[in-house]
Structure 1
Amino acid sequence: MSQDVEQAFQLAKERYAALGVDVDAAMATLKTIPISLHCWQGDDVIGFEDPDRALSGGIMATGNYPGKARTVAELRRDLDKAYSLIPGEHRLNLHAIYLDSDQKVPRNEIRPEHFASWVDWAKENHHGVDFNPTCFSHPMADDGFTLASEDEGVRQFWVEHCIASREVGAYFGKELGTPAVTNIWIPDGYKDVPVDRFGPRMRLRDSLDIIFKESLDPEHNLDAIECKLFGLGSESYVVGSHEFYLGYATSRQKLLCLDAGHFHPTEVISDKISSVLLYVPELLLHVSRPVRWDSDHVVTLTDELQAIMQQIIRSRALDRIHIGLDFFDASINRIAAWVIGTRNALRALLLALLEPRDMLLQYEHEGNFTGRLALLEELKGMPFGAVWDMYCEQQGVPVGFAFMDEINQYEKAVLSQRRS
């Protein structure tokens, strides 16, 4: 162990102890919190169903940084590298188009066996796996509608795909001993203002009821639905709005997915967590960084990221919230994007765990809002970085900026050898 890291940590530990914070307990709790890394950062949301297809359905990855994964093996190798630079044990968030099959499989015919090699990999590396039906970039979604389509045949196709996806999610959960969160997001909506807003939402409600008709063991699969305000091609109207899915999740007791990039730029999900937790059993959070619109930038240590993690810890809701990442930046090294984003999510969690919650609550209950404000501001100058460095050292991953040395070496030895 580095002497400098140890000395800085002991000083930080004393500073936090003076505020009643148990630093060792905070690090022990952080070790138990998995982040679900999104597979689609590694290959720009292309998948392995049809590598020649173009993205559609409001999905767009910008940039052409060299070295993206082209095969299942390359993607897993890149993920292995990313996980090795992130402290703790974490999950994988997998989309249906990342199946591993020698034959082309229609999406409504995917089966657990098409993901068997992912189970083997996950077992070997101690990863839980979450799952998503892929309701975009497909001829049956060319008009921008899937589960809410007026065409009964189109609706049926996507209903079958989502039912099959739930079965795959349950397969992952059963095989890996940890439930998969199977999350449904659809692109359905209009670029311009529609006349009929009610009809598509009625069809979406009915489609979801069919999809969820069969109860699956929650020890294996947890169903989530993801809302959105607007997106590419659906700027004026999204069928699956926040109000729609909040009502559906509440009435059907499903998980609600809140994506940090799916709301108005002045609207934040951190302010929604404490309210929604009153009415739904659990929450799925897609942590992203929007820039003016749903652009899914790499997560940085922003005020909103810290506020999201603060609400999780302050609400004592760790056992009811699942944290996943959702961004896809093709303009930088894709492994670095994973590592930077995940380490920032964990740093924000650690900051939240290091809050003197009891002292802050005492000030608040006493009406001492001056003391509360002063303490919250003082915390911003506490030696949090020394605690983070020690956590990384204890978990056997690079401390500080050293993770970039390994990424640069990997790029030179592996990524630079790939040709599109």
Structure 2
Amino acid sequence: MTKSETVEQAYKVAKERYAELGVDTDAALKELKKVKLSVHCWQGDDIHGFLFPNQELTGGIGVSGNYPGIARTPDELSGDLSEALSLIPGQHKVQLHAIYAVTDKKKDLTDLEPEDFSYWVDWAKKEKVGLDMNGTFFSHPMVKDNFTLASPDKDVRDFWIEHGKRSRTIANYFGKELGQQSVNNFWIPDGFKDNPIDKADPRLRLIDSLDEIIKKPYDEKNTIEAFEGKLFGTGIESYTVGSHLFYNNYAISRNKLWTIDAGHWHPTEDVSDKFSAFLPFGKGLMLHVSRPVRWDSDHVVIFDEALVRIARSLVRDNELSKTNIGLDFFDATINRVAAWVIGARATQKALLQAMLEPIEQLKKAELNFDFTTRLAETEELKSYPFGAVWDEFCLQNDVPVGTDWLNNIHQYEKDVQFKRSNLINA
């Protein structure tokens, strides 16, 4: 019996088991295929980019490890992304940062034009993926004393305001060229290491700066802005200007998206509980799915309880249509392409498992205060043959089943990645 025949046989059994609970596995697979993840480019090159590849990382960002095969050029990074996307079922998007502009001219962040991203648009058309955008508000000499848009120095603010405006122009270009909305995410590292006297004025300056950036209207068919709060550590331990609550309120008041980064909350907080509290008031969400370890870190996403809770909240409360799901982690201790695949497939598995619940039946039991049925069924579902349904999803989307994708990675290492030097500009 071939592997595909084994998968089909196992799926047939799983389909029957789930049908006993009233769950249509075929419908779940169709729903999962509609979900586009936004895969972050910066996992592939440790956030070096192409504008200033030798610039030291700042803003509390650091990447651990030196696994061989780092991407150093646009062709290497796009090639690595193509390899990863070929191993992730479904059709997705890719997130870029401003520092990934591809130009033969020396440019600063305030000089960027849409033409500097034509390389990525051409590649995206070939791969049939969308592009999301991030302004790069870190690792630059104009980050003064840990401040950008909230700086007391007008020249500093003006520099970053101009960069923000240009990032919006580029995101609009992505949307027009690719025919799908480009989410333009804003995160800034502004804050104080020790206790500030004045917590209000930096936030008032940030509001003014952001309002200036978004003043020009763009068709939301092409692009929309998202604003990302942080509970951040290194350098701004005592005060973050753009806190979670700040951007929650800013997004609601400006009719924009709020970005929730799962890797930057207190360890005891349940990130998934934020969705249903925000979405009745807010336009929508951008998620940066990451994995914190003890706090303030971006480990590769795995199929853990935190991710399961995120997926359950989105699916059970019917919030997927208002939520953009992006990945955000960087690990240079393992193969960088494998990290993309592991994180993306884990996220899809969590969503699928949530889709394989008899949600309306469970909601009805809960509404009738039948907590016995609610607990019994959710516990039994944990041992249902969800893996067989996932294997069928991979088979239907022509990607390797199980750990077979790792064979592709090992071959790609041998043929491509291990032939590179680890020097960024080699």
Superposition TM-score, scaled by structure 2 size: 0.98
- The residue type equivalent to 1:309 in the other structure is A
Counterpart selection for 1:50 from 44, 49, 52: 52
Deviation, structure 1 residue 268: 2.5
Quick check: 1:122–1:129 contact (8 Å CA) kept in 2? yes
Q: Who is 1:290 aligned against?
A: 292
The match for 1:326 is: 328
Query: Residues 59-83 of structure 1: CA distance to partner in whole angstroms, max 9, x if unpaired?
Result: 1111111111000000000000000
**In the TM superposition, what whole-angstrom CA distance separates every residue of 1:27-63 from its partner, at most 9, and x where no partner exists?**
0011111000000000000100111111011111111
CA contact (8 A) 2:185 2:259 kept: yes
Partner of 1:182: 184
Partner of 1:79: 81
Tell me the residue number matched to 2:90: 88
**1:40-189 equivalences in 2 (<5 Å):** 40-189=42-191
Aligned residue runs from structure 1 range 20-35, under 5 A: 20-35=22-37
- In 2, the alpha carbon distance for the partners of 1:231 and 1:46 equals 21
8 Å Cα contact 1:57/1:142 also seen in 2: no
| Partners of 2:27 and 2:106 in 1: CA distance | 49
Task: Provide the residue aligned with 1:353 in structure 2.
Answer: 355
Report the 3-state secondary structure (helix = DSSP H, G, I; strand = E; otherwise coil) of the residue aligned with 1:294. coil
Give how far 1:120 is off. 0.6
Match of 2:410 in 1: 408
The AA in structure 1 aligned to 2:315 is: I
What is the rounded CA distance, in whole Å, between the counterparts of 1:262 and 1:143 in structure 2? 22
Task: State how far apart, in whole Å, the 2-side matches of 1:230 and 1:113 are.
Answer: 34
Alignment coverage as a number of residue pairs: 420
Match of 1:3 among 5, 23, 41: 5
Q: Is the 8 A contact 1:230 1:236 kept in 2?
A: no
Contact 2:228/2:261 (<8 A) preserved: yes
Per the TM alignment, residue 142 of structure 1 is displaced from its structure 2 partner at its CA by 4.1
Query: Does the CA contact (< 8 Å) of 1:287 and 1:299 recur in 2?
Result: yes
For residues 187 and 52 of structure 2, the distance between their equivalents in structure 1, rounded to whole angstroms, comes to 20
Q: CA deviation at 1:204?
A: 0.3
Query: Is 1:301 matched with 2:303?
Result: yes
C-alpha separation in 2, matches of 1:211 and 1:362: 46
Between 41-50 and 226-235, the greater mean CA deviation after superposition? 226-235
* Distance (whole Å) between structure 1 residues aligned to residue 78 and residue 199 of structure 2: 42
Superposed displacement of residue 103, structure 1: 1.1
| Partner Cα separation in structure 1 for residue 220 and residue 277 of structure 2 | 23
Query: What amino acid sits opposite 1:368 in the alignment?
Result: D
Structure 2 contact 233–296 (Cα < 8 Å) conserved: yes
- Equivalent of 1:314 in 303, 313, 316: 316
Secondary structure of the structure 2 residue equivalent to 1:135: coil
| Equivalent pair of 1:145/1:188 in contact (CA under 8 Å) | yes
Could you say which residue in structure 1 is the equivalent of 2:41? Answer: 39
**SS of 2:332's equivalent?**
coil
Note if 1:278 corresponds to 2:274. Answer: no
Q: Is 2:362–2:374's contact at 8 Å kept on the other side of the alignment? A: yes
Runs of 4+ more than 2 Å apart? none
The answer to whether the Cα contact below 8 Å between 1:178 and 1:220 also exists between their aligned partners in 2 is: yes
Q: Which residue of 2 aligns with 1:224?
A: 226
CA distance in 2, matches of 1:46, 1:225: 23
**Cα distance in 1, alignment partners of residues 4 and 186 from structure 2:** 45
Looking at structure 2, the residues matched to 410 and 146 of structure 1 have their Cα atoms a distance apart, in angstroms, of 40
Listed as ranges, the gaps of 5+ residues in structure 2 are: none
Q: Deviations along 1:125-176, whole A, 9 cap, x unmatched?
A: 1000000000000000142100000100000000000000000000000100
Distance 1:336 1:210 in 2: 40
Indicate conservation of the 8 Å contact 2:231/2:296, yes or no: no
* 1:218-239 deviation per Cα after TM superposition (whole angstroms, max 9, x unaligned): 0000110000122211111100
1:335-350 to structure 2, matched below 5 A, reads 335-350=337-352
Instruction: Give secondary structure in 2 for the equivalent of 1:92.
Output: strand
**Secondary structure class of the residue paired with 1:349:** helix
Deviation of 1:319 after TM superposition, in Å, equals: 1.4
Of 201, 205, 208, the residue aligned with 2:207 is 205
User: Residues 108 and 160 of structure 1 are in contact (CA less than 8 Å); yes or no, is this contact kept in structure 2?
Assistant: yes
User: Which residue pairs with 2:15 in the alignment?
Assistant: 13
Cα-to-partner distance string for 1:154-213 (whole Å, 9 max, x where unaligned)? 000000000000000000001000010000000001111111111100100110110111
Other structure's SS at 1:407 match: helix
**Deviations, residues 311-337 of structure 1 (Å, cap 9, x unaligned):** 111111221100000000011100000
Q: Distance in 2 between matches of 1:9 and 1:243?
A: 44
Q: Is the 8 A contact 2:264 2:297 kept in 1?
A: no
1:375 counterpart = 2:377: yes
- Contact conserved, 1:53 with 1:137, CA < 8 A, in 2? yes
Following superposition, the deviation at residue 368 of structure 1 comes to 0.4
Q: Secondary structure at the match of 1:139?
A: coil
Query: In 2, Cα distance between the equivalents of 1:223 and 1:3?
Result: 46
Shift of 1:413: 1.1
